[in-house]
Amino acid sequence: MNNNNTFQLQSYAITKKEERPNSRIDIKVENDELIDVKTGESTGKNYEECFKVMLNNKDNITLNQYDRLEGECNDSECQACMDAMNAAIIGVIWLES
């Protein structure tokens, strides 16, 4: 964790224009809670729990051209975590191959 309370999440993402193999997603986290960057309030979701849920669904989730996670979740917990992570995204850096 760095000074601005973000975690770096490696992901594999496909944009509509081209495939990009890696990106770094900076997520706002305080006391293990995902924080909505617009409101500054907790999303009510735990970062580590949501990270595990997202890893279990990684084949169905991509990063879209608007730097937001999207895809098909198998259950409501996955969708809630995806929504919470999207709310907590500070920024995305596309890494060169």
Residue 44: φ, ψ to 5° = 85, 5
pLDDT in tens, 49-76: 998 898 888 778 888 888 899 888 888 9
Give the Cα separation of 48 and 84 in Å (integer): 12
pLDDT of residue 82: 94
Average pLDDT (25-36) is 92
* Domain residue limits, the chain: 6-94
Q: Which has the closest alpha carbon to 26: 93, 97, 94?
A: 93
> Phi-psi bin for 53: left (phi > 0), alpha (psi -120 to 50), beta?
alpha
